[in-house]
Amino acid sequence: MRIDCPFCGPRDLREFSFLGDAEAAGSALADATPAADAAAPDEAGRVYLRANPAGRHRGLWYHEAGCRSWLAIERDTRTHEIFSVELARKEPA
């Protein structure tokens, strides 16, 4: 799967880390990069105990091997077709 980063252009999926559902994680969007160390207990839950929707889904992805930007990507989880890629922003308080 290739993701068209708004800053770096089309890039391979391996350059990105998946955070989770964009709507659920929108208020938890961190300014820091994801930890490269061993997973914390709550991170293990985020990875293994999250919803696994089939079909169109909007998720947060971090471009760690490129521009280090958070992206909101809407894609079909069955076909991997990407509908939109945009810079993710924190919701105003």
Q: In the chain, what are the domain boundaries?
A: 1-31+56-93
Q: What is the per-residue pLDDT across 9-19, written as a single tens digit (0 to 9) for each?
A: 999 999 999 98
User: Cα angle at 82 between 45 and 62, to 5 degrees?
Assistant: 45
Q: What is the per-residue pLDDT across 48-89, written as a single tens digit (0 to 9) for each?
A: 666 677 899 999 999 999 999 999 999 999 999 999 999 997
Q: Give CA–CA dist 10/18, Å, rounded.
A: 17
Write down the pLDDT at residue 49: 65
CATH number for the segment(s) 1-31+56-93? 3.30.2270.10
Q: Is the pLDDT of residue 26 over 60?
A: no
Q: Is the pLDDT of residue 93 over 50?
A: no
User: Cα angle at 42 between 36 and 48, to 5 degrees?
Assistant: 85
Write down the pLDDT at residue 38: 47
